Structure 1
């Protein structure tokens, strides 16, 4: 009888190597209306991909892939950690407003050096809009 664990016992963030990770990028259009859409990126090499390159990959997807037309008028310039696989998530449905240390400001940093792993989820948004929302974090439902 084998003493090895079942494949379902392996944490999903450990099922893929850092050279072949899947990331979810939450593209945020509006903080106050909680408008966001998830972009799933496969086959990302966390050891060689920088923050700036991840921004470029996500921006290009928004500009060229079908279904993103409503998001093309937002100047996306800021990345922030939202959650890691099996980690705690914020109670705020659009973005975590605490942990400014989770903002990725250095475009030259490699993702692996920032703690990225398979199934990491990051938010991609306009930094100026984020600061305004952070100063007054009220959501709206009307148009």
Structure 2
């Protein structure tokens, strides 16, 4: 089959068995983030609140996130979908605040989340402060 007819990788897995990448952001200014890969996510049944709780549990139990445990993670925001364009800001998409997932009772599928979607996880207060003064430090 010619390459132009190959299915996108984001459509190869069913919505009941998706892979989601969470970009756990500790610091916007210092661009401190670590990816949390979540497999076997049922987008049709998992709510935004469920995903938030699962992420918090992983952060508290996985040793690789030890340095990230002092932040109160309370917000999820779409970063990019598979095969979509990415923002020029390497830490978070500052545009499109309508991509924040405020309704914790909606399923991920209802929010437009697909297989291989990247979602930012962060503290909303720190995000709002960074938006007012998006200066990166070293």
Give me the TM-score of the superposition, normalised by structure 2: 0.96
Match of 1:121 among 118, 129, 137: 118
- 2:11 — aligned with what? 14
Note the C-alpha offset of 1:66: 1.6
Match of 2:84 among 87, 100, 106: 87
Matched, 1:44 2:41: yes
1:96-123 CA-to-partner distances (Å, cap 9, x unmatched) read 1010100000100100011111000000
- Over the aligned positions, Cα root-mean-square deviation in angstroms equals 1.2
CA distance in 2 between partners of 1:45 and 1:20 (Å): 5
| Gap regions ≥5 residues in structure 2 | none
Note the C-alpha offset of 1:5: 5.7
Matched, 1:66 2:63: yes
Give me the TM-score of the superposition, normalised by structure 1: 0.93
| Gap regions ≥5 residues in structure 1 | none
Note the C-alpha offset of 1:10: 1.9
- State the structure with more CA Rg: 1
Matched, 1:101 2:108: no
